[in-house]
Homo-oligomer: A and B are copies of this chain.
Amino acid sequence: MSARQVTLAEVAKQAGVSLATASRVLNGSTRQVSEDLSERVLRTAEELGYVPNASAQALARNSSSLVGLVVHDITDPYFSCIAAGVTRVAEAAGLSVVLGTTGRRPEREAELLSTLRAHRARAVVLAGSRTTDRAAQSRLAAEIDAFSEQGGRVACVSQAKLGTDTVVPGNRAGGRALARALTELGHKKFAVLGGPSELVVARDRLAGFKAGLADAGIAPPVVINGAFTRDGGYAAAMELLASKSRSTCVFAVTDVMAMGAMAALRERGVRIPEDISIAGFDDIPTLRDTVPALSTVRLPLEEMGEIAAGLVLDAGGDEARTVRVAGEVVLRASTAHN
């Protein structure tokens, strides 16, 4: 059994150079090291199987190679797609991503940020949907402040936040465009299965949708709020059914909710799209093969993750940057003419 851990000091000794030289060779500082010493160090490091102690480096440099990623629920395809984008660019940059999940509890966001700060994470991307809960908000704001002050960068996806870089999907515009497309199909009576009212993502999509209906001179929709999940969609749809609303088209603010809603409708013998049309939002790749294919607003989820990671990694100015990504309405089999 070899030593518990190979340290730089051992490598240096073995190679017959000083600690400083070894360090300079193995991490490429600004300083030059002569060819042969450099060679020797590299070789012994290789032989000994040296792996730098990331904690020690982080401590000495006062900055780690960690990038935070906080999501509500990694199981939700919306988040896992974003996560894929973030990890791809982080790993390409030689960084490790630490994944935090909030389980949809807003307080957790601040806690996680604090942990990330403890780790001196170089950056963090917040993919959670912003809530309107004041207390959680200000606690989070404080953490974000602390985090940046300590030299970390933070980017948000889909939630503008005090001076952080942000990638904002066109939630409002997408909702509006979707409404327009749906009214063009001839629908006049709409219902929307909204997310919890404190999530701005849900609210933006809803607001956009309403605006779109208004554009077309259509009466505002019945809206039923539910959890931002498959079950939430299911429950909301059940409630809708119970309400005897005569809507011909329902918009679920999320593909995942739409799936739940479709399940509920099917269960009740409502045919899609013959009896009722349904549309979602996000265009989750995993869900593209469902029957009937779900009409939705496509968001380039992975790309959004990549952009966010990109923002947060390239030092950038002190200005908070905002990248907008557009949603694209795609009408498929779940919506029919009326």
Contact = CB atoms under 8 A, between A and B. Distances in A.
A318 interface: no
A238 interface: no
A321 interface: no
A55 to B, nearest CB: 4
Interface residues on A, range: 35 or more
A66 interface: yes
Contacts of A114: 51
A150 B53 contact: no
B77 A77 contact: yes
A188 interface: no
Interface stretch (A31-39, A92-100, A308-316): A92-100
B91 A96 contact: no
Contacts of A1: 149
A53 B120 contact: yes
Contact of A73 (B53, B75, B84): B84
Nearest to A262: B289
Interface stretch (A56-64, A131-139, A200-208, A213-221): A56-64
Contacts of A100: 87, 91, 96
A5 B120 CA distance: 10
A14 interface: no
19 contacts: A4-B150, A5-B150, A53-B59, A53-B118, A55-B55, A55-B56, A55-B120, A59-B59, A66-B98, A74-B83, A75-B77, A75-B83, A91-B100, A96-B98, A97-B98, A99-B99, A259-B289, A286-B287, A290-B290
Across the A-B interface, the 3 shortest Cβ-Cβ residue pairs = A55-B58, A99-B99, A54-B118
